[in-house]
Structures are given as structure tokens and as C-alpha cells.
A and B are shown apart, each in its own frame.
Chain A
Amino acid sequence: MISPRTLRNLRKELRSSALAKIGIVLVLAMLLVATLAPFMALHNPTNQNLEENNLPPLGFSRATEETTSEMQNGSLVIKNETVLVNASASHPLGTNSLGQDVYSRAVYGARTSMMVGVLGTLLAAILGVSVGLIAGFYRGRVDDALMRFADISLAFPSLVLAIALIGLWGRAAVDIPDPFVMLGVVDPVRSALGLSTGMPDSFVLPGTVIVVVGLVNWVWFARIARGEALSIREEEYVKAARALGASDLRIIGRHVLPNATTPILVLATIQVAAIILLESSLSFLGFSGTTLSWGFDISQGRAYLSTSWWIATVPGLAIVFAVIGVNLVGDWLRDALDPGIEGEGGV
């Protein structure tokens, strides 16, 4: 599956490409932040504090009109004053309209994005690769039917289909206990670091979203797997194995699948990026099961654009960096492994 030659190519490409290094650093950073969110966040991302809403990030201030009224000489005087709201050191990237810490929400948002990106891609890959292998291996009518079905599903843009399915099926979500909180390590560490305690003890996994993004993205995997199956089927050693009476399942598992690994891996990387973008779009439109998501925060920040630009800006930058990272890793894999898929896939 991963031969020494492959590894050598990967290393060689990595050495010569600064972009690949940047990509790996970005992806590792994202994964780290997502995993260790309870330690990285400054506050509980869902804690509201209306006293401290719309605080600007460090280095910025926000002007706001304050209206005071008082009785002067028996008549009501209304005064409009411009006051400056200054940043607070405990909220380095500011707070949103509910007084939630923008930075901590971005940290937890990374969890949602990574989980949906990885699990959604996995689901799409399992579905697509199975369909593709069957179609390519058996050819004939099975192939025709499956590929025609793939054509039809391509006719629905994945975002449109995802909106429709989630809108109609509901926004089911699963609460997953946070392992670090369960182990009881979070509070001691945080108080040792002088941070506030009481992080969320569970994490909301938007189940429907994962299933749906998997369902709407399988076609790309099916196409690749089918192509590989079609070509490998004709190889002499596969013919020999068949002649010796090896079962179809065994041939697929032993010969076809391993050969298809490289292109599938490259495609999967591109798909993670696409699915992160798709997830953020869905939660932006309100078609998600969680509120701890970059897209959701952007949609919240939109209403405060003229006064509190950071609420929408910070999570957006997080998406951009995450997706750039994954795309760069994808480019690195593609250049190093050269599986011959250029530019397919996408949101």
C-alpha cells in the first residue's frame, strides 16, 4: 500500500516544497487545537455575559452611542454621548453579541469542522469506493446502472442536496462526552494555568450533517475507484488470480483496493477541504445541529458588521487557514504521488 518508494517521493517533495511544509504545519495546528480544545480555550465558549458583549479585539476599540437621560431643572434632558469600548485582556479576540469569547468559540469550532470534515469524508469514501469498485469490477449492467445513478446525483449540487436533506430530515445531533473533562484533567490543569474552569462536558456532533455530506460527496470516490478497478481488472496477475479461483471479494480486497489507495487518498484530502467548506456553508445557512461552528458564528456576526466586524472575521479566517492547510497537503500528496487526478472533486 505505502511502498518505500512512495515514502521517498513524499519526503523528497516535502523537502523541496515550502508550501507543503506550511500545509502540514497548518493541518497539525488545526488538529491539535481541535483535540485539545478544552485546554486551548480561554473561556467556556457558550458562556454568555451580556455585560461584556461586542468587546473589540486587543488593539482595537469600538465607538458606541450611549444615551443617558436625567432630570435637569425639572425637564428631561436626553444626552447622546459617544463612548469608546476598549478591549479586554481576557478576551484577546473580542466577544460577540452575547458576550461569548470569540477566540474560544473559534477553538471549539475547529472541533466541529475537523470532525465533520474527517467523518464526512470517511463516509463518502466508504460509500463511493464500494460502489465504484463493484461497478468497475463487474462492469456490464451493474456498472451502467450505478454510473447512471452517479450521473443523476451529480445533477444536484451538493450544497443544494445537503440543504434539502437536512431541512427535511431535521438537524439531529449527538452529544459526545468530552474525554478530557470526563477524565477530570481539564479543571486542574486550567486552574493551574490560572484560567477559568467549567468547560463544556460534552461536545455536540452534528450527526445529520455528517451523514448528509457523506451522501452528497460519494460520487467523486466512486468515479476514481471505478476507473482503478476497470484498469486493474485487466492486469495479468489479477486474471491469473481469477483463473486460480480466488473469490471476487478476495481479489478486490487483495489487488484492486491496494492499488487504488493512492488516488483515493489524494481525493480524500481534497474532499476534506471541500467538506469543511460545505459544513461551514450549511451552518451559516442554519442547517446544522450545532451552534459551535465557524459558519454559525459568521452568520451571527453578520448582523453586527458595521459595529463589531471581528465577530464574523475571526471564524472566517479560521476557515480560510484550515482549508488552505488541507489544500496544501492535498497538493503535496498529488505532486508526490501523481495519481493522475487533476482538479476533480470540489465542494
Chain B
Amino acid sequence: MSYGRFLLKRGFQGILVVWGVVSIVFMLRFITPGSPVDAVAPLDASAELRQRIAEELGLNQPLYVQYLDYLWALLHGDMGYSYISGIEASQMVFTKLPATVELAVASSLVAITLSIPLGVISATRRHQPADYAATTFSLVGISTPNFWLGIMLVLLLSVEFGLFPTSGRAYGFIEAFRILAAQGVSPGLDALWQWLRHIFLPAVTLGTYFTALITRLTRSGMLEELGQSYVQATRAKGLPESLIRYKHALRNTLIPVITVLGLQLGTLIGGAVITEAVFSWPGLGTTLINAINVRDWPILQATLVVIGCGFVLVNLVVDAVYAYLDPQVVAE
């Protein structure tokens, strides 16, 4: 099978999963006690009014009609309007999305840049102080709830030393660049600086678990890889040790690490939800929790659909990278 066909096949499977995601989100309403009308109607609403609202929301239609309507609307990017604020759900979700993506990307970058060298050092200096430090860090890191870590960081760095703001998001990353372009260097850099100050603690909070996890995976993977006979054979042909370590062993270590990361993407998004709650970060997580609490179905559905599709999309990318790195995957 060629690489292109492999991607095509994966893409098709991805579309199936997206369809499943969308359907489950739709069904969620029917396995929930109570009616969406409750969220909209005033508490003392008459039966007549409730009837009218139900009709308006299309709840009187047969199930399959509602389902098809929902799918059809979704295909056109229409996810309904918030029951509470009346804002278009898709617009609401897409204005919140950048904050969450920024957070997830920033913490992944932190995690990847720290953890891979850490794992390599740990594996190549086995049973030395650096290894013990790295393994201890990774054990504590995967065992610490990130919301608590966030609170402790706020306690230490914000409350005690006032280094970082305790919560909120001053500017979006793109917004900061816009300011840079429109208002000149000084306000632009200031905006960027504010952006960095605000995202620092949330990114560290969310990134620590992944740093710890990838360090662990990289360490054990490197140890296994360095024990393979091809490493010895590669040494026998006189390659410098750094080349063997990084080009050969590390690359092969990262292949399974990437798969696990794809699977752990859910943890990243889940972690983002709770990190947003800790730092009042105005992203999808905060939106989701609010929507659940007030049963704002369109917003809830839109958030879940976006999260589910995001997961599928990123996993497609992961698959593509994986297959690029490990040609045997495509062949099988």
C-alpha cells in the first residue's frame, strides 16, 4: 500500500468516527432525564407555553427527522443558538476555541521540548544522579492532579512572589500580533509579553503531566532501543555515538511514543478543561462546564462535537506522522 492510499484509508475511517461522534452527541439528549424545554421555559410556564417552545425547538418531530435535521444543519455549520444568550453556537465555540488550542499547543510544546531530552539523558546515564532526578520527576509528575499543581503554582509564584497573574487571558496570541502590526513595536511586544505572562502558569500546569509521561516513555523506549542489535551493528560501522543515539535510537523510540501521545490527546483536552477552570481561562472547557450547568444544549453539543472532531483530526495527523516514521505500518 502506498503512503497516499494509507492516508486515504485512515481519512475514511476518521470520517466514520466523526459521524459516530456527532451521532452520540445527538443521542446524549435522549439518554438524559428532563427535556430541553426546562432549560428555556420559565419555571412557572404553562403547559401551552411549554408546548410552543417544544415545537419551536423542533422537539415534536419524530426522532429520525430531528436526527436528519441536526445532521443537515451541522453539515452547513449550523449548530443552533444558545438557549441562554441567543448567540449562534458555532460562533460561540469558534471564538472560544483559539484560547484552548493555544493552551494545548503551548503545553505540548513545553512538554515535548523538555521531556525528550530528559528521557534521553535519563536513559543514556542510567543509574546516575541525572537519571534518578528524571525518574523521580516523572513519577511525581504523572501522579499529581494538574488542578492542584496549578493552585500550588499560583500560591508560590503568584501569591508569594507576584511573578505571574493568577488568572485570566489578556490577549490572544494572534491578537497580540495584530497589535504588533497595527500599533507598532512597543505596544505589540507588550501585548505579547502579557500573553506570555498569562499563559505561562496554565501551560506549565497542563504540560507537567505530559512532560512526565513522555519522559517516562522516552526513557524506557530508549533503553529498549539501545539494546537492539542494530544499534550494535551501527556502532560497528563506526558512526559517532551521537548519531546512533539521536538519528537511530531516538527516532525509533519516538514512533511508539507518538502513538501513545495520540491516545493521550483526550487527557490533554480533559486536562485543558480543568486547567481553564483553575485559571479562569476563557476557552472551550469553561464554556462546556457552563453549558452543562445550565443545560444549554446547542452550546453543549457544539462544544462536544468540536472536541470530538478535534481529537479525530489530530489523531489523523498522528497516524500520518507515525506512518511516515515507520514504513512498516504502511506496508502491513
Q: Which residues on A sit within 8 Å (CB–CB) of B21?
A: 152, 155-156
Asked whether B181 is an interface residue with its Cβ less than 8 Å from the other chain, the reply is no
Shortest CB-to-CB span from B267 to chain A, Å, is 5
A148 touches B151 (CB 8 A): no
A154 touches B263 (CB 8 A): yes
Asked whether A346 is an interface residue with its Cβ less than 8 Å from the other chain, the reply is yes
State A284–B276 Cα separation when bound (angstroms). Answer: 13
Asked whether A65 is an interface residue with its Cβ less than 8 Å from the other chain, the reply is no
Shortest CB-to-CB span from A54 to chain B, Å, is 15
Q: Which residues on B sit within 8 Å (CB–CB) of A167?
A: 289, 292-293
Q: Which of A148, A309, A324 contacts B20 (CB 8 A)?
A: A148
A313 touches B152 (CB 8 A): yes
Q: Mark B151-162, 1 if CB is under 8 A from A, else 0.
A: 110110001000
Asked whether B220 is an interface residue with its Cβ less than 8 Å from the other chain, the reply is yes
Shortest CB-to-CB span from A285 to chain B, Å, is 6
Asked whether B142 is an interface residue with its Cβ less than 8 Å from the other chain, the reply is yes
Shortest CB-to-CB span from A112 to chain B, Å, is 14
Q: Which of A155, A273, A284 contacts B147 (CB 8 A)?
A: A284
Question: For window 262-318 of chain A, which residues contact chain B by CB distance below 8 Å?
Answer: 273, 277, 280-281, 284-285, 295, 298, 301-302, 305-306, 309, 312-313, 316
Q: Which residues on B sit within 8 Å (CB–CB) of A273?
A: 143
Q: A152-B17, A158-B270, A298-B147 known; A316 and B152 CB under 8 Å? A: yes
Question: For window 236-261 of chain B, which residues contact chain A by CB distance below 8 Å?
Answer: 256, 260
Q: A151-B17, A156-B304, A160-B304 known; A324 and B139 CB under 8 Å? A: yes
State A148–B295 Cα separation when bound (angstroms). Answer: 29
Closest to B274 in A: A281
Shortest CB-to-CB span from A299 to chain B, Å, is 8
Closest to B224 in A: A342
Closest to A313 in B: B152
Question: For window 132-179 of chain A, which residues contact chain B by CB distance below 8 Å?
Answer: 148-149, 151-160, 163-164, 167-170
State A149–B142 Cα separation when bound (angstroms). Answer: 28
Q: Mark A326-347, 1 if CB is under 8 A from B, else 0.
A: 0110000000000000111011
Q: A157-B307, A160-B307, A343-B216 known; A152 and B270 CB under 8 Å? A: no
Q: A343-B216, A344-B260 known; A320 and B143 CB under 8 Å? A: yes
A305 touches B154 (CB 8 A): yes
Asked whether B206 is an interface residue with its Cβ less than 8 Å from the other chain, the reply is no
State A306–B158 Cα separation when bound (angstroms). Answer: 10
B277 touches A302 (CB 8 A): no
Closest to A277 in B: B145
Shortest CB-to-CB span from A152 to chain B, Å, is 4
Asked whether A232 is an interface residue with its Cβ less than 8 Å from the other chain, the reply is no
Closest to B209 in A: A347
Q: Mark B29-50, 1 if CB is under 8 A from A, else 0.
A: 0001100000000000000000
B20 touches A149 (CB 8 A): yes
Asked whether B111 is an interface residue with its Cβ less than 8 Å from the other chain, the reply is no
Q: Which of B209, B216, B266 contacts A156 (CB 8 A)?
A: B266
B140 touches A280 (CB 8 A): no
A157 touches B270 (CB 8 A): yes
Question: For window 286-302 of chain B, which residues contact chain A by CB distance below 8 Å?
Answer: 288-289, 292-293, 295, 300
Q: Which of B20, B139, B269, B292 contacts A328 (CB 8 A)?
A: B139
B273 touches A312 (CB 8 A): no
User: Which residues from chain B sit less than 8 Å from chain A, CB to CB?
Assistant: 13, 16-17, 20-21, 24, 28, 32-33, 139-140, 142-145, 147-148, 151-152, 154-155, 159, 209, 213, 216-217, 220, 256, 260, 263-271, 273-274, 277-278, 288-289, 292-293, 295, 300, 304, 307-309, 311-312
Beyond contacts A155-B312, A312-B155: 20 other A-B pairs, Cβ-Cβ < 8 A, are A19-B139, A148-B16, A148-B17, A149-B20, A157-B267, A157-B270, A158-B267, A163-B273, A163-B288, A163-B292, A280-B145, A285-B277, A285-B289, A302-B151, A312-B151, A316-B152, A324-B139, A324-B143, A343-B213, A346-B213
Closest 4 A/B residue pairs (Cβ): A159-B270, A167-B292, A152-B20, A157-B266
Please list 5 pairs of residues, one from A and one from B, whose beta carbons are closer than 8 Å in the complex, sorted by A's number: A153-B24, A164-B28, A280-B145, A284-B274, A343-B260
